Structure 1
Amino acid sequence: MAGTGLLLHARRAMLREARQAREAADAVRSALLRPLPARIDGLATAAALLSADRGARAGGDLYEVISTEHGVRVVIGDVRGHGIAAVGTVAAVLAGFREAAHDEAELAGVLARLDRSLARHLRDRDRARAGNIEDAEDAEDFVTVLLLEIAPDGALHALNCGHPWPYLLGVGRATPVARADPMPPLGLFPLPAELPVTACGRLLPGETLFLHTDGVEDARDSQGRFFPLAAALREAVRGRPISPRTVLRAVFWQLLRHTGGRPKDDIAILLLRNERPMIRRAAGPHGSAAPPRGAISHDASEVDNPPVAPTP
Structure 2
Amino acid sequence: MRRLEPLLRWLPFMVMMIVAVIDLLAGPTLGYLPLLALGPAFASLCCDVRGALLVGLIAVGLCVVLASYDGVLGHRANNMLLISLGGVTLASALASAVRQQRERELADVRTVAEVAQKVLLRPVPRSAGPLRVAVSYISAAAEARIGGDLYEVVTSPLGVRILVGDVQGKGLEAVETAAAVVGAFREAAYDEPDLTGVITRLQTSLDRVLSGERFVTAVIAELRDTRISLMSCGHPPPLAIGVDGGVHFVELPEPAPPLGMTDLVDVQPQVCDVAFAPGDQMLFYTDGVVEARDREGRFYPLQDRAFLLKEQSAEQALEDLRTDLVRHVGGPVADDAAMLLIRHR
TM-score range, shorter chain: 0.7 to 0.9
Q: Which amino acid aligns with 1:254?
A: D
Residue 38 of structure 1 pairs with residue 110 of structure 2: no
1:58 counterpart (130, 136, 146): 146
Alignment of 1:233-244 (within 5 A): 233=306, 235-237=307-309, 242-244=312-314
- Report the equivalent of 1:271: 341
SS of the counterpart of 1:147? strand
Alpha-carbon deviation of 1:194?
Answer: 7.7
The structure with more radius of gyration: 2
- Report the equivalent of 1:291: none
- Report the equivalent of 1:158: 230
Where in structure 2 are there 5+ consecutive unaligned residues? 1-88
Q: Number of residues paired by the alignment?
A: 256
What is the Cα-based RMSD across aligned positions, in Å?
1.9
Distance 2:332 2:239 in 1: 24
8 Å Cα contact 1:157/1:197 also seen in 2? no
TM-score, structure 2 as length reference: 0.70
1:226 counterpart (299, 312, 320): 299
Where in structure 1 are there 5+ consecutive unaligned residues? 127-138, 276-312
Alpha-carbon deviation of 1:256?
Answer: 0.4
8 Å Cα contact 2:293/2:329 also seen in 1? yes
Which string of whole-angstrom CA distances, capped at 9 and with x for unpartnered residues, describes residues 38-76 of structure 1? 101121110011111223321100000111111111110
Distance 2:239 2:340 in 1: 11
Alpha-carbon deviation of 1:261?
Answer: 3.2
Q: Which amino acid aligns with 1:202?
A: A
- Report the equivalent of 1:199: 272
- Report the equivalent of 1:252: 322
- Report the equivalent of 2:117: 29
Alignment of 1:74-153 (within 5 A): 74-122=162-210, 139-151=212-224, 153=225
Distance 2:187 2:150 in 1: 16
- Report the equivalent of 1:183: 256
Which string of whole-angstrom CA distances, capped at 9 and with x for unpartnered residues, describes residues 179-234 of structure 1? 4342111112328788443323111011111110010000001111100000011x
Distance 1:267 1:203 in 2: 25
Distance 2:259 2:128 in 1: 27
Alpha-carbon deviation of 1:242?
Answer: 4.4
TM-score, structure 1 as length reference: 0.77
8 Å Cα contact 1:49/1:269 also seen in 2? yes
8 Å Cα contact 1:150/1:156 also seen in 2? yes
8 Å Cα contact 2:219/2:235 also seen in 1? yes
Which string of whole-angstrom CA distances, capped at 9 and with x for unpartnered residues, describes residues 68-117 of structure 1? 11111111000012343311001100111011111110110100000010
8 Å Cα contact 2:253/2:270 also seen in 1? no
Question: Which structure has greater helix proportion?
Answer: 2
Percentage of identical aligned residues: 40
8 Å Cα contact 1:45/1:273 also seen in 2? yes
Distance 2:109 2:142 in 1: 11
Alpha-carbon deviation of 1:147?
Answer: 1.1
1:232 and 1:241, CA in 2 relative to 1: closer, same or farther beyond 3 A? closer
8 Å Cα contact 1:53/1:82 also seen in 2? no
SS of the counterpart of 1:117? helix
1:118 and 1:196, CA in 2 relative to 1: closer, same or farther beyond 3 A? closer
Distance 1:242 1:227 in 2: 23
Q: Which has the higher contact order (CA 8 A, sep 6+)?
A: 1
- Report the equivalent of 1:11: 99
- Report the equivalent of 2:242: 170
Q: Which amino acid aligns with 1:163?
A: H
